[in-house]
Amino acid sequence: MIRIGILGYGNLGRGVEYAIRQNDDMQLAAVFTRRDPASVKIVTENVPVYSVKDAAAHASEIDVLILCGGSANDLPVQTPEFAKLFNVIDSFDTHAKIPSHFENVDKAAKESGKVGIISIGWDPGLFSLMRMLGNAVLPEGADYTFWGKGVSQGHSDAVRRVKGVKNAKQYTIPVESALERVRKGENPELTTREKHTRECFVVPEEGADLAQIEHDIKTMPNYFSDYDTTVHFITEEELRRDHSGIPHGGFVIRSGKTGDNGANSHVMEFSLKLDSNPEFTSSVLLAYARAAYRLSSEGVSGCKTIFDIPPAYLCRQSGEELRAHML
Amino acid sequence: MIRIGILGYGNLGRGVEYAIRQNDDMQLAAVFTRRDPASVKIVTENVPVYSVKDAAAHASEIDVLILCGGSANDLPVQTPEFAKLFNVIDSFDTHAKIPSHFENVDKAAKESGKVGIISIGWDPGLFSLMRMLGNAVLPEGADYTFWGKGVSQGHSDAVRRVKGVKNAKQYTIPVESALERVRKGENPELTTREKHTRECFVVPEEGADLAQIEHDIKTMPNYFSDYDTTVHFITEEELRRDHSGIPHGGFVIRSGKTGDNGANSHVMEFSLKLDSNPEFTSSVLLAYARAAYRLSSEGVSGCKTIFDIPPAYLCRQSGEELRAHML
């Protein structure tokens, strides 16, 4: 049994907890929290919740620690820090800072002889893998990534900061006609506006100026001004009833040419349609936690990404079983 | 430069030859043929064509030998045989015989200290990888593979063997309504007939009994009797004009549930739309030839499949470049 520790018990941590039940070679060994452990109620019975301050004392009870904090402030500090004591895995998703995060985790993990796997999930994660495979297989071609339809937490937060907004949810939506052009192998050059639209469901404060709210959202730099945005005003009740989920998904498409003067076109497409963004991310994290455990058992140390890991390491099955049933 | 050898110069071998031009870290070093080398005209200038009987004498000129023969008779013999002298890679696609083929290649390659990568292409190959990833990430779910729309060589051959048939082409077509049910996460149980239809374009011999031909095709066991089949009679001219390509493709879909009592559904889908089945297979072979070269350079030996190879080994780029630009 692979003993899994969870650090940070929010949507992602709870998703990992549920996902462990679907993997019979794994067990939840402990949850670590920055809150008062007595205040954290987890789903699994008879599993301890510890303060993160006491993590070092429990290092021998954990095979892989899954870091479920945020990329902005938590993971840049936590992943290198805990790689000194544990095999760790995170879903660090600030693309621009991945190289420096890798260096920090690699240094810590090599010194401790542990494995650290970073940026696991679906983007970065499975989508990265698909982009890489597409480029490797069709060197002459074009890449497209579309996101959605799904909830963007960052954009929802931005809308909630607008004056007169009480609550809000923002969906990122791929433009179907752009997707179709890409699928046809047209290799179009697409602007930001041509790839995605944004749809906001806004609960206004009483007496708020709705026209002003809509204007403030649609003209917000970086977040909305480069997109065609639709704003719907709804009640708090409607928001709760119709928009409480955290769905997401997207498409990675590689189109390329082969043969005599590029005579033949090919389109590779990978897509995800996810009811729960954090639960799916949790499931990917857990598969790669198995890989971290195996790599560590083989004496490997240092930082790894999805590009470095042989796919078979994600599976419970032996090489024989995989070859007989999945190849 | 990775020096590539091609064994067998048909559609697949020529596809590899073209694909090498898209990979600037590779060069075609030699083509080996069972025919009279003087009779084989290749596209690339100043590259020798040798008799396959003389392959051993040229072992030092080749880093990876790509075996482009057929799975029925060629590869079961060739891949273990040439693994004694070369790093080899093949597209062996007889799913049921993969375990024994693996054993044979593994034994030969371990004795010679070479790397042999088998069953590379899209199915087996990229589709296998997607099935495996789907199972690893969503352990509670269902798998679906659909093929087409595309030309099945085996079924086209079977139609051509029918009495009164002069020439023929057969397309395998996924049933759109079944695909839609799977995409919706319904996890349907689908019969053979519900998943694919078959469409035949037949050039009859002069004076042939068309009704009899149609009956013989539609009732043919294993090939057609379990499917809804459409038969079109056309002229040799129409066959040449409209059906000379070798397109193919398909869909691998994993749908699964996560969370509290499986509250949330997720659908992972990978699809290919290929103008040329052999050229795309060639492109996949070449990416994995790069992996064979790297593994061999690191002192690895034995047989590998797509499950065993870290994805980064397929790419020219360094780990730093991949992390900065593709993760």
What is the residue-wise DSSP string for A15-73? HHHHHHTT-TTEEEEEEEESS-GGG---SSTT--EEEGGGGGGGGGG-SEEEE-S-TTT
Q: Is B74 on the interface with A (CB under 8 A)?
A: no
Q: Which pLDDT value is given to residue A166? A: 97
Q: ipTM beyond 0.90? A: yes
Contact B66, B96 (CB under 8 A): no
Choose among B308, B211, B195: nearest CA to A314. Answer: B308
- From chain B, the residues in CB contact with A324 under 8 A are 98-99
Contact A327, B304 (CB under 8 A): no
- Find, in chain A, the residue whose alpha carbon is nearest to that of B123: A327
In this complex, how many residue pairs, one in chain A and one in chain B, have their CB atoms less than 8 Å apart?
219
Q: Do B284 and A137 touch (CB under 8 A)?
A: yes
Which pTM was predicted?
A: 0.96
Report the gap between the CA of A52 and the closest CA in chain B (Å): 25
Q: Is B153 on the interface with A (CB under 8 A)?
A: no
Q: What is the mean pLDDT of residues B243-255?
A: 97
Q: Which of A95, A136, A276 sits opposite B327 (nearest CB)?
A: A95
Q: Which pLDDT value is given to residue A188? A: 93
Q: How confident is the model at residue B290 (pLDDT cuts 50, 70, 90)?
A: very high
Query: Tokens in use for B76?
Result: 């079961």
Q: Residues 86-115, chain A: which have Cβ within 8 Å of B?
A: 95, 98-99, 102
Report the gap between the CA of B52 and the closest CA in chain A (Å): 25
* CA distance from start to end of chain B: 26
Neighbours of B285 (CB within 10 A): 28
- From chain B, the residues in CB contact with A126 under 8 A are 133, 137, 268
Q: Do A323 and B305 touch (CB under 8 A)?
A: yes
Q: Do A312 and B311 touch (CB under 8 A)?
A: no
Please give the C-alpha separations between residue B100 and each of A303, B80, B104, in angstroms, as whole numbers: 36, 11, 6
Choose among B114, B152, B120: nearest CA to B15. Answer: B120
Say how far apart CA A172 and CA A164 lie, in whole Å. 22
In the DSSP assignment, the letter for residue A205 is P
- From chain B, the residues in CB contact with A136 under 8 A are 287, 290, 311, 314-315
Say how far apart CA A262 and CA A138 lie, in whole Å. 11
Please give the C-alpha separations between residue B274 and each of B21, B251, B261, in angstroms, as whole numbers: 19, 12, 39
Q: Is B274 on the interface with A (CB under 8 A)?
A: yes
Q: Which of B22, B140, B320 sits opposite A140 (nearest CB)?
A: B22
Q: Which pLDDT value is given to residue B133? A: 98
Report the gap between the CA of A246 and the closest CA in chain B (Å): 10
**DSSP string of B149-199, one letter each residue:** SEE-HHHHHHHHTSTTEEEEEEEEEE-HHHHHHHHTT------HHHHEEEE
Query: Tokens in use for A18?
Result: 């549920």
Mark A143-172 as b/e (b = at least 16 C-beta within 10 Å). Answer: bbbbbbbbbbbebbebbeebeebebbbbbb
Cα torsion through B41, B45, B50, B51, rounded to 10: -10
Choose among A118, A87, A266, A323: nearest CA to B303. Answer: A323
Q: Which of A99, A266, A310 sits opposite B323 (nearest CB)?
A: A99
Q: At A142, is the secondary structure helix, strand, or coil?
A: strand
Spatial neighbors of A309 by CB under 8 A, at least 6 apart, are A117, A288, A291, A295, B310, B311
Q: Do B128 and A326 touch (CB under 8 A)?
A: yes
Report the gap between the CA of B195 and the closest CA in chain A (Å): 19
Q: In which residue are the tokens 């520790």 written?
A: A5
Q: Which pLDDT value is given to residue A185? A: 87
Q: Do B15 and A310 touch (CB under 8 A)?
A: no
- pLDDT digits over B221-234, tens only? 989 999 999 999 99
Q: How confident is the model at residue B32 (pLDDT cuts 50, 70, 90)?
A: very high
Spatial neighbors of B262 by CB under 8 A, at least 6 apart, are B140
Q: Do A119 and B327 touch (CB under 8 A)?
A: yes
- From chain A, the residues in CB contact with B300 under 8 A are none
Q: Which pLDDT value is given to residue A11? A: 95
Q: Which pLDDT value is given to residue B45? A: 94
Report the gap between the CA of B119 and the closest CA in chain A (Å): 8
Contact B271, B251 (CB under 8 A): yes
- On the question of a cis peptide bond just before residue A139, with omega within 30 degrees of 0, the verdict is no
| Residue numbers in chain A where pLDDT is lower than 70 | none
Q: Which of B95, B264, B283 sits opposite A327 (nearest CB)?
A: B95
Q: Which pLDDT value is given to residue A67? A: 98
Spatial neighbors of A98 by CB under 8 A, at least 6 apart, are A92, A118, A119, A124, A305, B323, B324, B327
- pLDDT digits over B154-184, tens only? 899 999 999 999 999 999 999 999 999 999 9
Q: Is B179 on the interface with A (CB under 8 A)?
A: no
- From chain B, the residues in CB contact with A319 under 8 A are 305, 307-308
Q: Do B260 and A43 touch (CB under 8 A)?
A: yes
Q: Which pLDDT value is given to residue B185? A: 87
Spatial neighbors of A117 by CB under 8 A, at least 6 apart, are A88, A89, A90, A288, A289, A291, A292, A303, A304, A305, A306, A309
Q: Do B183 and A260 touch (CB under 8 A)?
A: no
Say how far apart CA A115 and CA A106 lie, in whole Å. 8
Q: Which pLDDT value is given to residue B114? A: 98
Say how far apart CA B239 and CA B306 lie, in whole Å. 36
Q: Do A137 and B126 touch (CB under 8 A)?
A: yes
Q: What is the mean pLDDT of residues B50-66?
A: 97
Q: Which of A266, A280, A314 sits opposite B258 (nearest CB)?
A: A280
Q: Is A287 on the interface with B (CB under 8 A)?
A: yes
Q: How confident is the model at residue B297 (pLDDT cuts 50, 70, 90)?
A: very high
Q: Residues 195-254, chain A: which have Cβ within 8 Å of B?
A: none
Q: Do B326 and A135 touch (CB under 8 A)?
A: yes
Say how far apart CA B289 and CA B120 lie, in whole Å. 10
Neighbours of B110 (CB within 10 A): 15
Q: Do B322 and A132 touch (CB under 8 A)?
A: yes
Q: Which pLDDT value is given to residue A236? A: 97
Q: Residue B15: pLDDT above 90?
A: yes
- Residue B277's φ and ψ, nearest 5 degrees, are -55, -50
